[in-house]
């Protein structure tokens, strides 16, 4: 165990404790005595699982504490807060047990957000904390020591896979995020979850279907479902089943492992008092949830969009030369395939970069990875959970402001409001704006914004539409400005909509 441990965990947690306290005192103006009492409870043994403190920054933890202590009371059903980089959303629910109906409503509210992870855990005081991560998680940065431990853990996973004659171990290793790895390194025991997930990933990949496994852990039933290429409604359907059977969940966790065109969604539940024998539960879930595995919606375009989005994020981040060359080669290969007659992949970003690669070839830059990274990489991905009320319900939809380049001046580009807005489209338009500004000889860079919303579904004079635009505008406010980034109108965002953003 020691070779995987993060080492001086007490020192690490103490540093988080100190930093969190400083934020509460200086930013939120909580007096020192109150702050100390709050922190003593929040960091006490058993109040929250250890992984929580390794998965969140001190700033996020301080915000959570402030929300819990100042806003959540007996009259509040739940509160929510967006996390670091707006790539996660945390709900504070005023109930200890994880009623599936309530959790299902939270997930339904965020179903458009491309969910890759869910953690639902109760505090010792009975408040439930539900954290939802969307694709693009990049706010967890491992220290050099953590990277060494992470490399050892990955090597051990590979050795374990070879010893047990598993076929998808290397692939599984490549799916693991920094946040997931840090959670594994934070446990006080042998990091068993990663190996349990490896076996579930292996079995689901081999069967190309749903796998259901049960086991008794202390006095709880642990139930795991691994769905190969899960349907978009998979999470909701599983929770609806538990609601129908009146089964309450002590804890629940979801992780989506993605490798190229393949996805495996692993949902794990801990149940104190199942209402039926666990083998019957296993059999029923297998029967009812199998239709939501290996879903037909995962078409070629979906997999291409995911592959391209991953490459955009990777090329834009810090990389060693070997990895940079590998990702650029993968992008060049996609561009080459995209040029073949009848083989266009329907990805807007890929179309624009295919033309760029042809120009780079003529300029003799094809084999200059660092220059290509400078020209292809994006400076900033600002992504938001935008709350949009409609007919008495509130849903969160993706909002974007993606900045490609500010080398020639403030980034410039319009805001698009449309139901087909996605990460790749906004990135492509941002990339193209850089070159449009340069070609026009104006001293601006390139950026683009977008909101995945259909304006035609709203009365343009309704409060719901105004609130949706206003929420998007508030998200944009902190990341735009006259000398920083200059938005404008675009498809679905005319003069009326622009006034609603302000």
Strands, sheet with 380-390, edge to edge from the N-terminal-most edge strand: 380-390, 393-405, 445-451, 411-417, 485-488
pLDDT band for 8, please (50, 70, 90 cuts).
very low
Q: What is the pLDDT of residue 429?
A: 96
- pLDDT digit string, tens, across residues 163-219: 999 999 999 999 998 888 888 887 655 558 999 999 999 999 999 999 999 998 888
Residue 325 vs residues 264, 367, 368, 377, 415: alpha-carbon distances, Å: 28, 9, 9, 13, 33
Per DSSP, 481 falls in state B
From 30, 44, 114, select the one nearest 313 (Cα to Cα): 114
Q: What's the CA gap between 449 and 417, in Å, rounded? A: 9
Low-confidence winner among 44-53, 330-339, 446-455 (lowest mean pLDDT): 44-53
* Share above pLDDT 70 across residues of the chain, in percent, rounded to a whole number: 91
Q: What's the CA gap between 328 and 319, in Å, rounded? A: 11
Q: What's the CA gap between 298 and 258, in Å, rounded? A: 12
Q: Is 490 helix (H, G, I), strand (E, B) or coil?
A: strand
Indicate yes or no: pTM above 0.85: no
Q: What is the pLDDT of residue 136?
A: 76
CA angle, 253 then 255 then 260, to 5°: 170
Tokens of 411: 């980034």
Q: What is the pLDDT of residue 335?
A: 92
**pLDDT at residue 4 greater than cutoff 70:** no
Tokens of 149: 């431990």
From 451, 114, 122, 171, select the one nearest 309 (Cα to Cα): 114
Q: What is the pLDDT of residue 238?
A: 95
Q: What's the mean per-residue pLDDT of the chain?
A: 86
What's the residue count for the chain? 502
Q: Is 257 helix (H, G, I), strand (E, B) or coil?
A: strand
Per DSSP, 492 falls in state T
pLDDT band for 6, please (50, 70, 90 cuts).
very low
Q: What's the CA gap between 349 and 460, in Å, rounded? A: 31
Residue pair 356/404 in contact by the 8 Å Cβ criterion:
no
343 or 404, greater pLDDT: 404
Q: Is 367 exposed, middle or buried (0-12, 13-18, 19+ CB in 10 A)?
A: exposed
- pLDDT digit string, tens, across residues 51-80: 778 777 888 889 888 877 877 665 667 777
**pLDDT at residue 1 greater than cutoff 80:** no
Question: What helix, strand, coil percent values describe the chain, rounded to 5?
Answer: 50, 20, 30
Mean per-residue pLDDT, 350-358: 92
Q: What is the pLDDT of residue 187?
A: 65
What ranges in 27-127 are assigned the alpha helix state H? 32-42, 50-55, 58-70, 100-109
Q: What is the pLDDT of residue 138?
A: 58
Q: What is the pLDDT of residue 166?
A: 97
pLDDT band for 404, please (50, 70, 90 cuts).
very high
pLDDT band for 46, please (50, 70, 90 cuts).
confident
From 370, 310, 316, select the one nearest 334 (Cα to Cα): 310
Q: What's the CA gap between 96 and 128, in Å, rounded? A: 5
**pLDDT at residue 275 greater than cutoff 80:** no
Q: What is the pLDDT of residue 214?
A: 92
Most confident of 112-116, 137-141, 277-281, 331-335: 331-335
Q: Is 380 exposed, middle or buried (0-12, 13-18, 19+ CB in 10 A)?
A: middle
Low-confidence winner among 47-51, 157-161, 240-244, 355-359 (lowest mean pLDDT): 47-51
Q: Is 274 helix (H, G, I), strand (E, B) or coil?
A: coil
Residue pair 288/233 in contact by the 8 Å Cβ criterion:
no
pLDDT band for 85, please (50, 70, 90 cuts).
low
For residue 343, which phi and psi values (nearest 5 degrees)? -110, 5
Mean per-residue pLDDT, 429-442: 95
Tokens 């049960």 belong to 214
Residue pair 411/404 in contact by the 8 Å Cβ criterion:
yes
Instruction: Kindly list the structural domains of the chain, giving each domain's residue range(s) and its CATH number in brackets, ordered by start.
Output: 78-297 (no CATH), 300-368 (no CATH), 380-501 (3.40.50.10860)
Cα 103 from chain centroid?
18
From 165, 181, 182, 185, select the one nearest 173 (Cα to Cα): 181
- What string of DSSP letters covers 414-479? EEEE-TT--HHHHHHHHHHHHHHHHHTT-S-EEEEEEE---GGGS-TTSHHHHHHHHHHHHHHHTT
CA angle, 14 then 16 then 17, to 5°: 60
- pLDDT digit string, tens, across residues 436-467: 999 999 999 999 999 999 988 888 888 888 89
Q: What's the CA gap between 456 and 297, in Å, rounded? A: 25
Per DSSP, 113 falls in state G
* Angle, in degrees to the nearest 10, between helices 178-186 and 144-163: 90
Q: What is the pLDDT of residue 210?
A: 96
């Amino acid at each position: 165990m020691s070779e995987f441990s993060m080492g001086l965990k007490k020192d690490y947690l103490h540093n988080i404790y100190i930093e969190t306290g400083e934020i509460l005192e200086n930013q939120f103006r909580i007096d020192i005595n109150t702050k100390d009492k709050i922190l003593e409870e929040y960091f006490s043994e058993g109040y929250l699982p250890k992984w929580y403190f390794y998965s969140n920054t001190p700033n996020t933890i301080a915000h959570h504490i402030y929300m819990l202590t100042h806003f959540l009371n007996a009259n509040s059903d739940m509160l929510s807060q967006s996390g670091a980089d707006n790539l996660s959303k945390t709900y504070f629910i005023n109930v200890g047990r994880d009623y599936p109906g309530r959790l299902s409503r939270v997930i339904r509210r965020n179903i458009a957000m491309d969910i890759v992870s869910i953690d639902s855990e109760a505090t010792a005081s009975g408040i439930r904390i539900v954290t939802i991560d969307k694709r693009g998680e990049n706010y967890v940065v491992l220290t050099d020591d953590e990277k060494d431990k992470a490399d050892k853990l990955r090597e051990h996973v590979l050795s374990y896979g070879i010893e047990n004659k598993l076929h998808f171990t290397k692939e599984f290793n490549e799916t693991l995020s920094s946040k997931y790895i840090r959670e594994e390194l934070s446990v006080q025991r042998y990091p068993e979850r990663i190996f349990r997930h490896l076996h579930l990933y292996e079995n689901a990949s081999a069967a190309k279907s749903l796998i259901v496994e049960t086991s008794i852990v202390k006095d709880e039933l642990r139930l795991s479902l691994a769905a190969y290429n899960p349907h978009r409604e998979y999470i909701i359907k599983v929770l609806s089943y538990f609601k129908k059977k009146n089964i309450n969940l002590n804890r629940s966790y979801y992780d989506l492992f993605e490798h190229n065109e393949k996805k495996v969604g692993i949902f794990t539940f801990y149940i104190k008092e199942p209402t039926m024998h666990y083998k019957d539960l296993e059999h029923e879930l297998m029967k009812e949830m199998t239709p939501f595995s290996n879903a037909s919606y995962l078409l070629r375009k979906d997999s291409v969009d995911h592959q391209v989005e991953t490459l955009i994020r990777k090329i834009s981040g810090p990389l060693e030369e070997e990895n940079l060359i590998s990702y650029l080669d993968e992008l060049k290969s996609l561009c080459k395939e995209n040029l073949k007659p009848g083989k266009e992949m329907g990805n807007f970003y890929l179309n624009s970069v295919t033309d760029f690669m042809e120009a780079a070839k003529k300029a003799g830059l094809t084999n200059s990875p660092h220059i290509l990274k400078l020209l292809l990489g994006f400076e900033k991905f600002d992504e938001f959970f935008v709350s949009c009320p409609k007919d008495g319900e509130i849903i969160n939809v993706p909002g974007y402001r993606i900045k490609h380049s500010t080398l020639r001046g403030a980034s410039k580009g319009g805001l698009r409001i449309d139901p087909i807005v996605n990460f790749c489209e906004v990135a492509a338009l941002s990339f193209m704006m850089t070159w449009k500004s340069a070609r026009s000889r104006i001293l601006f860079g390139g950026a683009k914004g977008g909101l995945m919303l259909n304006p035609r579904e709203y009365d343009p004079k309704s409060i719901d539409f105004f609130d949706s635009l206003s929420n998007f505008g508030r998200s944009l406010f902190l990341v735009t400005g006259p000398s920083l980034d200059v938005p404008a109108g675009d498809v679905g965002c005319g003069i009326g909509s622009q006034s609603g953003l302000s």
